[in-house]
Amino acid sequence: MPVASGYLDPDAVVTRARGGGTATGRSARGANQVLLTLAAGQFLMTLDSSVMNVSIATVAEDLGTTVTGIQSAITLYGLVMAALMITGGKISTIVGRRRAFTAGCVVYGAGSFVTSVAPNLAVLLFGWSLLEGVGAALIMPSIVGLVAANFERRGRPRAYGIVASAGAVAVAAGPLIGGVVTTAFSWRWVFAGEVVVVAVILLVARRLHEGPREARPRLDLVGTCLSALALGLTVYGVLRSGEWGWVRPKSGTEWLGLSPVVWLLLAGGLALYLFTRWEQHVSDRGGDPLVRPGMVRENARLRCGLTMFFFQFFVQGGLFFVIPLFLSVVLGLSAAATGVRLLPLSVTLLGAAIAIPRFLPHASPRAVVRSGLLALLAGTVALLAALEVGAGAQVTTVPLLLAGLGIGALASQLGSVTVSSVPDEESGDVGGLQNTGSNLGLSLGTALIGSILIASLTSVFLQEVADDPGVPDALAERATVELAGGIPFVSNAQLEDALADAGVDPEVAASVVEDNEHARILALRVSLATVAFVVVLALFFARPLPTVQPADEPRAA
């Protein structure tokens, strides 16, 4: 039945049961097809979160709308996906993982097609934010369950590592793909290409093994609404924190004297509390809760795995916010050149995710994860030390190689750790929780690191201007008044143009630009120092991880 890849081929099972060979070649090909199919699904779901960030202005102009409108579409895609992730995991358990995966692909493909032909913002929101978000919420939890159903325990670390790394590579490759396709053709071809990829995935999806389905639970509708409300309010609050502020209101938006983010997070926390109480109520009555109450509370390994997923994507979100800013704004690289500079991370990430399970199949998951965190810490600190005024793009290469190695090491272990902590029939539920933790980590990492960067930049820039003898006191006071609410992260050229439009003396403008250069670098360093602190914190939370690979643990018959 098993082959070298750890793939569970249904055809090979039947052949062996009849006394024939194991059809190793066919099984190996099947393993590669299954893995490529699931990795392609993960790649697509993650790609949409980053592919259009570099083409927002172009899309807005084409649709006759504003940049804010397109940013809202990107935000709502992540919001719909995050809010429905737990529900998507339960649906995959109810209707079957392959069926949920296929249905999600159909919905996602329809959304991509609608987006590719969208004549205005309303149609774009329907296709991209709603349909693609719903499709992703069905696909991503199903992928976790399908890996468990199609690969033996000894083959799962490699499979989970490749699938997880496909998502991380999509984050890095998204700006490159979006920039190149938009520049050479049109942004619409990105979504048209997604339709083609989805069609290919659907053709190959018939090879996916369904896995065990001993019972057909009901969908907890009240729990579904409460979980969507809790996650939706929380993620939306985090995503809007950059515009509204975390506590002190920005842009004139306030609720009862505070930023709306405070109230959204409080409301999300209340909805989460009500969700947990309702799930306990349903479980006590012998019903089918959306999430079994004791699944996380009583399972230390699962709880640790989900926590580490949160930390991984928090750090990943922070790095992918800071590094592109340095490359594109500070150095002025194009979207395509920025994407090329991020490729070293993708290379080592994918390499580590594949090589560690292959060459170290019996390594301690705890040791691998801790080693990955140390590599991630080394890369972050190395970049922090290398950033200075006048530094070129080459200073990011070695830090990105180290960071990719660290993220790849985590990706090679965490998926197998979380799914192995529960019976295979609950892998869909774990997939929902796992992707929820990942989305929360990515959203919070991007928003919090972004807030720290802007706050640091504002504070340092205003202090630099106030202390600069070349800047008149009147201009310093004006900057303090106008920029106290936050200064955008702008390039030298943008600042020079703004100062020229304001009629500032050229010599004074040159002094202000120099102050901005120093403030930007210091703000980037503060942000990276925060990322490094979070990595160190994650090292403490890694202790409950197992020291033995799930495949090497004795299993009851």
pLDDT tens-digit series, residues 192-229: 988 999 999 998 888 787 766 656 677 888 888 998 89
- Least confident residue range of 182-191, 298-307, 480-489: 480-489
Q: Supply φ then ψ for residue 7, to 5 degrees.
A: -85, 140
* pLDDT 10s digits, 252-274: 677 888 888 889 999 999 999 99
**CATH code of the domain occupying 23-212:** 1.20.1250.20
**Distance (Å, rounded) from C-alpha 372 to C-alpha 351?**
13
Q: What is the pLDDT of residue 378?
A: 96
Calculate mean pLDDT across residues 272-284. 89
Mean pLDDT, to the nearest integer, of 483-499? 62
Q: Which residue in this structure is represented by tokens 């697509």? A: 44
Band of pLDDT at residue 433, cut at 50, 70 and 90 = confident
Q: Is the pLDDT assigned to residue 89 strictly greater than 90?
A: no
Q: What fold is seen in the domain 308-557?
A: Growth Hormone; Chain: A; (1.20.1250)
The phi-psi region of residue 218 (left if phi > 0; otherwise alpha if psi is between -120 and 50; otherwise beta) is beta
pLDDT at 250 over 80: no
Give the residue from 171, 172, 146 showing the smallest Cα distance to 159.
Answer: 146
d(CA 389, CA 330): 9
Structure-token pair, residue 557: 């018959």
Q: Which two tokens stand for residue 64?
A: 């006759």
Task: Transcribe 21-82 into DSSP letters.
Answer: ---HHHHHHHHHHHHHHHHHHHHHHHHTTTTTGGGHHHHHHHHT--HHHHHHHHHHHHHHHH
What is the torsion angle, in degrees rounded to the nearest 10, for the CA atoms of residue 179, residue 184, residue 190 and residue 192?
A: 170
DSSP 8-state secondary structure symbol assigned to residue 121:
H
Look up the pTM and report it.
0.84
Confidence of residue 54 (pLDDT cuts 50, 70, 90): low
Q: How confident is the model at residue 26 (pLDDT cuts 50, 70, 90)?
A: very low
The tokens of 180 are what?
A: 């190149």
Q: What is the pLDDT of residue 107?
A: 94
pLDDT, position 21: 38
Averaged pLDDT, 280-291: 84
Let me know: does 410 contact 311? Beta carbons within 8 Å: no
| Cβ within 8 Å of residue 472, ≥6 positions away | 508
In this prediction, residues 55-78 reach a mean pLDDT of 77
Which residue bears the tokens 């098993």?
2
Name the 3-class secondary structure at 407. helix
Which of the four pLDDT bands, split at 50, 70 and 90, describes residue 126?
very high
Q: How far is CA 220 from the centre of its chain?
A: 27
Q: What is the mean pLDDT of residues 488-496?
A: 68
Average pLDDT over residues 20-33: 54
Question: Which pLDDT belongs to residue 410?
Answer: 92
Q: What is the DSSP string of 337-378?
A: HHHHHHHHHHHHHHHHHHHHHHH-TTS-HHHHHHHHHHHHHH
pLDDT at residue number 25 = 43
